[in-house]
Structure 1
Amino acid sequence: MNQAEVLLIGGRAGVGKTTVGWQVSARLRVAMIPHCVIEGDFMGQAHPAPEGDPSRKKIAERNLTAVWSNYAELGYRRLIYTNTVSVLTDSEGMFQRAMGAGVRIVRVLLTASDATAHERLTCRELGSELEHELKSSARKARMLNEQAPADTVRVATDGRSVVEIASDVVGATGWLTGAGGSAHRWSASGPDEDGGEM
């Protein structure tokens, strides 16, 4: 497999993107499917914002390009990327530039009710950011619902275990069914010398 593929996991704050991303990774590890994980929020975490880049999009893309380049050099072709708005079409160009024009993009939007998001954020945010996060989460939930492309797979998280949610997310990729036997010839250093593909 030579084509790069990226699973974009988006959704409002408090929906469980990071937790689901790691559970997806756990499922793929059990199946011996090579992949890597990037928490998109970390790609632009700089204060103050770089000059001329108030939204931090440019630095996020530079960092994604650099990190993916390292993974790709080692033979990885599948990426799990979590970030609130990653599923929107204006992010597509960033992944094409960072991972190659032929990258296959799978968009999954995790959804949660206001009550569920409030409960999760209240448990998570122990500092001064809770009120801001609650308002921002509700605003972005509306925006994502309206602007997510038609090919986005929506996965509800209310009242469901992370294992159930991750199962739906992995199903959207086709990675488990399309892995074949070659995935089991993968080692930590890359494909075996017998030419096994990812």
Structure 2
Amino acid sequence: MDQAEALLIGGRAGVGKTTVGWEVSAMLRAAAVRHCVIEGDYLGQAHPAPEGDPRRSGITERNLTAVWSNYTELGYRRLIYTNTVSVLPETAGMFQRALGQDVRLVRVLLTASDTTTEVRLTSREVGSELETELSSSYRKARLLDEHAPRDTVRVATDGRSVVDIAKDVVAATGWL
């Protein structure tokens, strides 16, 4: 397999992207499927934002390109990538430049109700950023719902186990 494939797991804050990504990885490991995992949120964590890159998209792409290069040198061709807006159409160019023009993108949008998300974020955010995370989560949920491409697989997370959610996500990839 020479073509790169990327599973993009997107969704609002508190929907379970990272947790589901790791469970998908566990399922793939159990089936001996070669893959790597990148938590996209970490690729742009720089303060202040680099000059000329206020949204940190440039530094994110540079870091993705560098990390992916290391993985491909070792023979990896499948990527699990978690990031809130990774499923949006405007990210396709970044993945094509970083992983190759013929990359196969599988977009999965995890969804959860406002109530579920509020409960999850309230238990997770123990510092000073709860209100910021809540308002951003509400805003991003609407943005993702309106702008995710039609071929995006939507997976509801309310009241479901991580294992069941991950099974739906893995099924979307065809990797098992």
RMSD: 0.2
Task: Tell me the residue number matched to 2:142.
Answer: 142
TM-score by length of 1: 0.89
- Equivalent residues in 2 for 1:138-177 (5 A)? 138-176=138-176
Instruction: Give the 5 Å matches for 1:51-130.
Output: 51-130=51-130
The Cα of 1:160 is off from its aligned counterpart by 0.1
Figure out how many residues of one structure are paired with residues of the other and give that number.
176
Shift, 1:125, TM fit? 0.1
TM-score of the superposition, structure 2-length normalised? 1.00
- Runs of 4+ residues over 6 Å off in structure 1: none
Aligned-pair CA distance for 1:30: 0.1
Q: Which runs of 5+ in 2 are unaligned?
A: none
Paired AA for residue 143 in structure 2? M
Counterpart amino acid of 1:47?
A: H
1:18 maps to: 18
Instruction: State how far apart, in whole Å, the 2-side matches of 1:104 and 1:131 are.
Output: 36
Matched AA of 1:134: L
Question: How many Å separate the matches in 2 of 1:124 and 1:61?
Answer: 28
Greater CA radius of gyration, 1 or 2?
1
Aligned match of 1:32 = 32
Q: Distance in 1 between matches of 2:175 and 2:129?
A: 37
**Cα distance, 1:81 vs structure 2:** 0.1
> Is 1:44–2:36 an aligned residue pair?
no
How far is the alpha carbon of 1:131 from its aligned partner?
0.5
Percentage of identical aligned residues: 78
The AA in structure 2 aligned to 1:140 is K
Matched residues in 1 for 2:2 and 2:57: separation? 27
Structure 2 CA distance for aligned equivalents of residues 73 and 45 of structure 1: 25
Structure 1: gaps spanning 5 or more residues: 177-198
The Cα offsets for residues 95-118 of structure 1, whole Å up to 9 and x where unpaired, read as 000000000000000000000000
Aligned equivalents of 1:25, 1:146: Cα separation in 2? 28
- Kindly provide the amino acid, as one letter, of the partner of residue 36 in structure 1: C
Amino acid at match of 2:19: T
SS in 1 for 2:126: coil
CA–CA distance in 1 between the matches of 2:100 and 2:159? Answer: 38
> C-alpha separation between the residues in 1 aligned to 2:163 and 2:74?
29
